[in-house]
Amino acid sequence: MMTREATDYERIAAAIDYIRNNFKAQPNLGEVATAMHLSSFHFQRLFTEWAGVSPKKFLQYISIAHARTLLKDKGATLFEAAFETGLSGTGRLHDLFVNIEGMTPGEYKNGGAALTINYSYAETPFGNMLIASTTKGICYMAFADDEALALKELQHIFPNAQYRQMTDILQQSALQIFRHDWNNHDKIKLHLKGTDFQLKVWEALLKIPTGKLASYGSIAAQLQAPSASRAVGSAVGDNPIAFLIPCHRVIQSGEALGQYHWGSTRKAAMIGWEAAQVNGEG
């Protein structure tokens, strides 16, 4: 049962879970609202305020049928649909603003001994987030349902770094990913610890347009390694930058949404939210 203290995201996440678990029954607005212990009017208003679309429209976006529509896109192949670019106006790709810089071999091997990492927590439409940065760029973004655990995961990646809990301009810039107006935004820089293959996979993820989906196989094909789908999957799972490097846009070849490091419900919510923005519903 949802409590009064539950965040809007937690209420909407619970609603998405309910719909996914009862998809074949096609529950209507009243049934979902009742399951959330809210009136239909309150639930409709809350959901629309959070997502910018009605519950009915949003749930259409996160359905598997919608994923199929995105992949087919006027008869294009999976590869073409996944990596086409050129959106403009309010749908401008945030990915074009992102630049990856890999860490030096020394930084990679010594666990960040020479690095000072600033970190802070911030609320996003999809829950609390931990974001961390070096002087060169963002090095970590993760949803932090448990703040202590999220910080521990960051420290595991850079065990020898010096940590300061503080917000800086790099973090503030990156968090604008959740805003709609990017007209006056500088390029975001990422400072990542990863193998050459991981960095290539993460760069490929940045080429998946907002509102589109790709399979592990299509990414492997782009990297000219068509037999490396499993290795691509591992690299996607190791992505240290939630949402900004959009690993949530990668689904299984059978068009199922698949798993997500920060929860499949959150993944479904992000896919639906982005589709709503691109289609002018947000």
pLDDT at 186 over 50: yes
pLDDT-derived band of residue 89, with 50, 70 and 90 as boundaries?
A: very low
**One domain, residues 46 and 136:** no
Q: What is the pLDDT of residue 191?
A: 94
- Tell whether 271 and 185 lie within a shared domain: yes
**For this structure, is 247 an active site residue?**
yes
Task: Catalytic residue, from 170, 247, 271, 278: name it.
Answer: 247
If pLDDT is split at 50, 70 and 90, which confidence band does 201 have?
very high
- Do 73 and 57 lie in one domain? The reply is no
My answer on whether 57 and 149 are in the same domain is no
Q: Are 32 and 150 in a shared domain?
A: no
Considering 61, 82, 98, which residue would you say is the last residue of a domain?
61
Please give the backbone phi and psi of residue 165, each rounded to the nearest 5 degrees, phi first: -85, 100
Q: What is the CATH number of the domain that holds 57?
A: 1.10.10
Average the pLDDT over each of 39-53, 127-141, 177-191 and give the range with the smallest value: 177-191
Is residue 238 a part of any domain in this protein?
Answer: yes
Beta carbons of 40 and 270 less than 8 angstroms apart: no
Q: Are residues 16 and 97 in the same domain?
A: no
Q: What is the mean pLDDT of the chain?
A: 79
Domains: count for the chain: 2
Domain assignment present for 2 = no
Residue 111 belongs to a domain: yes
Check whether residue 74 and residue 139 sit in a common domain.
Answer: yes
pLDDT at position 218, please? 86
Task: Answer whether residue 1 is part of any domain.
Answer: no
Same domain membership, residue 200 and residue 110: yes
Domain that holds residue 34: 8-61
Q: 91 falls in which pLDDT band (50, 70, 90)?
A: very low
Q: Is residue 26 one of the residues assigned to a domain?
A: yes
Q: Is 73 inside any structural domain? A: yes
Distance between CA 102 and CA 199 in Å, rounded?
A: 7
Residue for token pair 């008869």: 75
pLDDT band, residue 160 (cuts 50/70/90): very high
pLDDT, residue 226, reads 79
| Per-residue pLDDT tens digits for 23-57 | 656 678 888 888 888 899 998 888 887 766 677 77
Q: How far apart are the first and last CA of the chain?
A: 28
* Least confidently predicted of 72-86, 119-133, 160-174: 72-86
82 compared with 123, residue with greater pLDDT: 123
What is the model's pLDDT at position 94? 44
With respect to residue 129, please indicate whether it lies within any of the assigned structural domains. yes
Q: Is the per-residue pLDDT at 255 higher than 90?
A: no
Q: Are residues 206 and 75 in the same domain?
A: yes
Q: From CA 62, how far away is CA 120, in angstroms rounded?
A: 30
Rounded Cα distance, 225 and 207, in Å: 17
Helix (H) or strand (E) holding 277: helix 264-278
CATH of the domain at 153: 1.10.10.10
Same domain membership, residue 123 and residue 46: no
The answer to whether residue 106 scores a pLDDT higher than 90 is: no
Q: Are residues 189 and 209 in the same domain?
A: yes
Is 210 in the same domain as 227?
yes
Read off φ and ψ for residue 197, nearest 5 degrees.
Answer: -65, -45
